[in-house]
Homo-oligomer: A and B are copies of this chain.
Amino acid sequence: MRFETSTIKDIAKALGLSTSTVSRALRDRYEISEETKKLVLAYAEKVNYRANPIARSLKERRSYSIGIIVSEIANNFFSQVINGIESIAYDKDYHVIISQSHESFEQEKLNVDHLASRSIDGLLIALSSETQNIDYLRDLYAKGLPIVFFDRVPENFETHKVIANNFKGSFDATEHLILSGKRTIAHLTNSENLSITRERLKGYQAALAKYHIDFNPDLVKYCQHGGMHSEELETAVKELLPLKPDGIFIASDRLTTGCIMALKNTNPEFAHKIAIAGFTNSNLVELFSPSLTSVRQPAFEMGQVATELLISMIEAKRPVVDFETRILDTELIKIQKAASNKFL
């Protein structure tokens, strides 16, 4: 929407200058005399001049906006990441455009293509749980679109990545369950397509190994849709129950809340007996019943770091060839004894 806002041309006419002089004055270029600058700035201020970013984008072939793809914003982990992204982006005068894949590959691709055609300057993406083929991203990347992956990252894709220390986070959580006396620990996790799934599985296995507990593949359940459908959770839970686990370690935010819900629906009594540990950035964990031990990711910081890396790529004079994968530590938040004993 453009209103009857004044343009650079109007200012030029009013001041008897050329549009280029006005443009340069507005952008504070060294060629322009202080006097002219003042004149222009004052007048621009007076008429409340706002540069038209559309025109600027067309000319400069960039939009000062970055695209974000997450599976869903109704997820504390992702909304915190987004807040981190915004905190840096706004500071550096970038605009962000958020899209949700809802864990669908098709939706993800559609959104990315849409964003790319909207002339975003760079892309921040956490892959959907369905995504296996990222050729479409390779194409865009090859054509010059800077991409930074976070959380759910691909292998064999040379660019910046920001992830949590998934191995350690899982190890710690599983070890915590073991140290509280659990021996039959189930693992509920995401699609095997995802990096986080593989890394978190390894942490889980390593903790078991450390305490000489045999790894039982039957105790691992995968949810292909990342818990978007409650059926997949309930099925997983039902398959797990006969194995009589005394603990369960859950590998992601949506899954953690969904699993507790499924446990409660399936066998509420059991839900309160089994020890639960899971990745989640929910700020409501303290309200949950049954309560759980949670692995929190530094989501806000992850967004910040990813954005800094992305903007550095966007603004790099020469092609970036030195890529880094930043690994951020997670935090294990144990159940508060008081809460779990007295009132549950």
Contact = CB atoms under 8 A, between A and B. Distances in A.
A257 B284 contact: yes
A74 B79 CA distance: 6
A4 interface: yes
Contacts of A32: none
B79 A3 contact: no
B289 A1 contact: no
A65 to B, nearest CB: 8
A14 interface: no
Contact of A86 (B62, B100, B271): B100
Interface in A78-97: 79-80, 82-83, 86, 95, 97
Interface in A144-202: 144-146
Interface in A265-298: 268-269, 271-272, 282-284, 286-289
Contacts of A120: 1
A342 interface: yes
A269 B344 CA distance: 11
A83 B100 CA distance: 9
B264 A339 contact: yes
A38 interface: no
Interface residues of A, number: 61
A114 interface: yes
Question: Which of A72, A73, A74, A98 is packed against the most chain B CB atoms within 10 Å?
Answer: A74
B54 A58 contact: yes
A116 B55 CA distance: 14
A307 interface: no
A149 to B, nearest CB: 17
Contacts of A79: 72-74, 79
Contacts of A144: 1, 3
A63 interface: yes
Given A260-B287, A268-B342, A287-B289, A54 B143 contact: no
Interface in A239-259: 257
B268 A338 contact: yes
A97 B98 CA distance: 7
Interface string A90-118: 00000101101000000000000010111
B3 A145 contact: yes
A119 B339 contact: no
Contacts of A289: 287-289, 343-344
Question: Which of A2, A83, A121 is packed against the most chain B CB atoms within 10 Å?
Answer: A2
A230 to B, nearest CB: 10
Contacts of A272: 343
A126 to B, nearest CB: 15
A27 interface: no
A261 to B, nearest CB: 6
B119 A52 contact: yes
A57 interface: yes
A118 B3 CA distance: 12
A76 interface: yes
- Of all A-B residue pairs in the complex, the 6 with the closest CB atoms, nearest first, are A289-B289, A74-B79, A3-B143, A287-B288, A73-B73, A2-B61
